[in-house]
Each structure stands twice: as C-alpha cells, then as structure tokens.
Amino acid sequence: MSSDVSKLFTRRATGLVREIGIGTAIIIAICNVVGLGWQKKIFQGAGGAPLAETFAVHPIIMAFLLAGLIILVSIYCFAVLSAAMPRSGGGYIFISRILSPGLGFVATWAQWGSVAISYGLIAVATMEAVIIFAGLAGINTSAIENSTALFILGVIIMVIFSSIATLGIKMTGRLLQVLFWIPATVLVVVYILFIVATPDTLAKGMQALFGHSAEEYTQLALSQGMATIAAGNNYMKAIYSTFTGAYWAYIGYAAASFVAGEVKEAHKTLPRAMFISGATIIFIYMSISFLLSRASQMIGRVDTPQGPFSFFSAISFLNYNSQSTGFGSLPTVGGWMPVLAAIQAAGMGIGRWFNYIIVLFAALWVANDIPPFILTSSRMVFAMAFDRLLPSFLADVDEKWHSPRNAIIFVSIASLVGAGGESGLFGKLGSWLFTGISDGWDVLFFGIVCLAALFFPTRKPDIFERSPFRASKTVTQVIAALAVIGNAIAGYFIFQGLDLLKDWFSTYWLVGWGFLIIWPLIGYLVYRYYSNRARATGVELTTIFTEIPPD
C-alpha cells in the first residue's frame, strides 16, 4: 500500500463485522422497498392524472412494469460491482473507485439526502398509517391528528429505532425479522381477499364500513370535475404521473450493497440476495397492483361521455388531486391498499376484529422500512468519513457492538427534516421533498452507479477478472448500458410527471427545483474542502482512490 493510501486508511480494518446472512440480506432489500410506496403511491399516481377507464392495462400496472424492467438491469450492475468490491458504502465505493472520487462523493451525498429524508418521512408515515386504519377498528386517534403530534411521535419512533441500530447489525437484523414476518403472513390473507373479491362482497363491505355506496363516491368525484380533468389527459400522461410514485416505491432495491462489508461471504451472497429480493419485489408490486385495481374497479362504476369511471378513480381523485375539495358529507375513505382489504373482509362477513390486524399490517409494512433506511444512510456517511471526506469521527465504530454509532446519530438528526415535511410542518414544500427531490436524486445516483458498471471492465480489469460473479466484458457492458439508458428514461418520466404537479406546489415549485440542484452543489463544496484539506497534509486523492478500502 502506498504512503498516500496509508495516510488515508489509518486503520487496517473498518471495525465492522460480517454478521449478515443471505436471509437477512434479502429481507433488508424487501423491507426497504415494500413499505409505504405500494400502500398509497398507486392511488396518488392515479389521482394526479385521472383517466377514463377504457384501457386494457391500467397505467399503474404499466408504470410498475416499466420501472421494474429498469430495476432488473440496474440490479445486475449492483450485483457485479458488489461481488467484486464488497465494502460498506455500496455505490459510493463503486463510483469513487471506478469513475471519480468527486463524482462518487457528490452522487452519494445526493442519495444520502434522499434516504435520510425518507427515514424521517417513514417514521411519521407509520403513525399516519395507524391514524388512517384505526378508525376502521373504532379507535379514536383525534388527539394525534395534527402536525405537531405527528412530528413528536415520529421523532420518538426514530429515537427507538436508531437506538436499536447502535447495538449492531445482528440486533437490527433480529428486529427486521420480526417486522417482516408478521405483516408478510397477513399479506397472504390480503392476497386471498383480493383474489376472491366480487362486486357483491365489495358493495356489502362499503355499506358495512361506511354506510354509503361506492357509486356515491364516484358521483362526488365527478361533481368536482374528475371527468373534465380526465378529458385533458391521455394514457402516457397517466403513466408519467404514476411512474413518479412507482419508481419511488422501488427505491431501496440495492439496500444490501450499502452494508456489503457486514455480509457473510459477500462475494457469493450479495448477487443471489439482490436477484431474489428484486424478483420478489417486482412480483409483489405487479400482482398486488393488478388485484387492487381489478377489485376497486368492480364497484362504483359510472358511465360518462368521457368514458367510465369507478370507485378506484374516485377515491384516488378525492384523496390526491389538487383540484378536489374532499369528501364533503361522505365519510373519508383513505386511498390506501389495506382499506380495500378491510372493505372486502367486511363484505365477506369477517368480524371487525380483522380491522385491528389491518392496522398492524399497514403500520408494520411502513415501519419495517426504517431499519434499512438507517443502515443504508449511516453506511454512506461511514464510508465517506472513512475516506476522510467527512469528519473522521463519523467513521468511528463501537468496539462492543461493531456499529458506526456516530454516523447513526448524525443521520437521525438529519432525518428530522423528513419528519417535519411528512408531518405537515413545512406545508406543500414537504410534499415536494418526498416526490420530486428524492426521486431526482435517486435516479441520478443509480444512473451513475450503472455508468460505473459500464466502465468497470476497462477501468478495473484486474478486479473485474477476479470477480466471482460476472458475465463477459461485452455482456456486462451491454447490460450496464441498458441500465444507464433505463435510468435516463426514468428521469425523463419522473420530471414529466412532476410537471403535472406544478399547480399543486404553486410558489414552492421554484423552491423545490432550487433545492434539487443546490443540495448536490453543497456536496461538491464539502468535497472540495476535505480534498484540499487532505492535499495540505500530503495525501493525494487521485492516488488513494485507486485502492479499495479494507474490510
């Protein structure tokens, strides 16, 4: 190891311990992805650009399919790179060692901002899920249905989960097992409910739970201009609107790569874990989207000159379209997937006790996002600090628990921004942060990682040839090129979709775009500061970044 490298890597080992098996690695990715997104994002997408239901394949299903194809080729890139360089930090390591240390830092800085914001968002969203479904179970939650209470409860959740994360990856893995298998078991029941759904049972369930017919909700949405708005849309416009939520719902598919330095036999385990979790996630999203849209379109059908509309379009519009004035005198029906499950269960005569299970199901599928968010965001910070591009104390590892405690604390504090935004403390600006900004940073980061995979065989041929998981140089580069192109298309779709929301964000539109650009620029300034500081101490980054960090 050169003297420059020795000055940088002052420790022979990172201090992290390889304690994650393939099962936990798979669950980390699934939990990171399947949480909030699939429960309400599909309704948000449909509400943003309503469309008469004359299509063969719902725009939601098409959006998840297109995003899933992009995710699959991107997973291959992460699998190849993770098998060759299994170090904690994931994409940061790949980009900085193959393309450029500066690009690696700025791209990861942006991605870290997205994940940290999402961590706070999910903590608050866990309580939102409880509020939405508690009413179905007859639980009064009025005392916490305000921005301040949601923020405080979100912070309490963050403190609890962050504290557990400081106890090490093994303890966090055990927590994940509990948070995953309970809702996963209920998910099987939810699948069955949607598969056996009929117009009759759904209609009975609506009357049992809400005392009104589905047609009343469709008529209410139509009276607020849903059909008129839909007449100005088309199929592609609906896909653009839905794709923003669909892509966001997939983010986290590469979560295991960020903790690669803590995975047992990572060279073999990571590729298998990524493909298994990726295929599982795509199956869940595609199948549940089909069953959900099929069931909710069975009821509330109303024909108009523009075409037919159903209960699905109605609750999407009433909940998530900026031009809707709400539910008025009708009881609010939340635009969440478990609401439809509760309606079907009630129509089948299943007791109201099942609604308590629905509360647990919805909350845990959101809450199990939190540990992976903590793990990925803290390991990004850890890896950058280990390279001395952030304060070195953020790379300290607790000797007893083998966890980067300082990085976890740092991430938790930063995540308060996300908690404030989702709780409503920042108004509409908060909504923007969790759609356009995070999606923009995500597609930037994942696109650059795929670009690193494209150049991997030529920039690091020795490491590429030694990698236990790879195809030929040509095949690898072709797949990586497809992934780069796919992420570019995803970016185009996302910004097309966000353009549809500018009236909703109104004066916050320019603020959101500004922050989308300014945050990476701040990252660049941070990088320049620490790189100049390293140079002043005799360390040349262009030299040290030719080396892979120690385990």
DSSP-derived secondary structure for 245-256? HHHHHHTTTTHH
Tokens describing residue 506: 């109104």
Distance CA(66)–CA(491), nearest Å, equals: 12
Amino acid, single-letter form, for residue 439: D
Tokens of 174: 């055990």
- pLDDT > 50? residue 139: yes
Residue 404, classed as helix, strand or coil, is: coil
Three-state secondary-structure class, residue 501: coil
- Residue 428: is its pLDDT beyond 60? no
Nearest Cα to Cα of residue 115 among 33, 57, 220:
33
What is the residue whose two structure tokens read 């839905």? 242
Closest CA to 444 of 378, 386, 391, 488: 488
Q: H or E segment at 409?
A: helix 405-414
pLDDT: which is higher, 254 or 545: 254
Dihedral angle sign, alpha carbons of residues 397, 399, 402, 406: negative
Of 470, 259, 505, 541, the C-alpha closest to 382 is 259
% of residues, the chain, pLDDT over 70 = 92
CA distance 466 to 279: 27
Contacts of 517 (CB under 8 A, 6+ apart): none
φ/ψ of 508, rounded to 5, equals -80, -10
From the CA atom positions of the chain, what is the Rg in Å?
Answer: 23
| Stretch among 34-38, 136-140, 205-209, 375-379 having the lowest mean pLDDT | 34-38
HSE at residue 204, side-chain half, CA atoms within 13 A, is 12
Which pLDDT score, from 0 to 100, does residue 12 have?
66
What is the token pair recorded at 150?
């949601």
**What would the mean pLDDT of 119-135 be, rounded to a whole number?**
87
pLDDT tens digits for range 334-357 = 888 899 999 999 999 997 788 889
**Sign (positive or negative) of CA dihedral 304, 310, 315, 317:** negative
Give the per-residue pLDDT at 1.
Answer: 46
**What SS3 state is found at 102?**
helix
Can you tell me the distance from the alpha carbon of 76 to that of 65, in angstroms, rounded to the nearest whole number? Answer: 17
Look up the CATH superfamily of 3-544.
Amino acid/polyamine transporter I (1.20.1740.10)
Half-sphere exposure of 89 (CA within 13 A, CB side): 27
- Cα dist from 60 to 49, 163, 245, whole Å: 11, 38, 9
Phi-psi region of 307 (alpha: psi -120 to 50; beta: other; left: phi over 0): left
469-472: list long-range contacts, CB under 8 Å, 24+ apart: 469/79, 469/80, 469/83, 469/84, 469/267, 469/268, 469/271, 470/80, 470/83, 470/84
Distance CA 175, CA 153 (A): 20
CB 95 within 8 A of CB 78: no
Cα torsion angle, 468, 92, 169, 402, sign = positive
Global pTM reads 0.87
Say which DSSP state 328 is in. T
Q: What is the average per-residue pLDDT within 252-265?
A: 91
pLDDT 10s digits, 479-491: 999 999 999 998 8
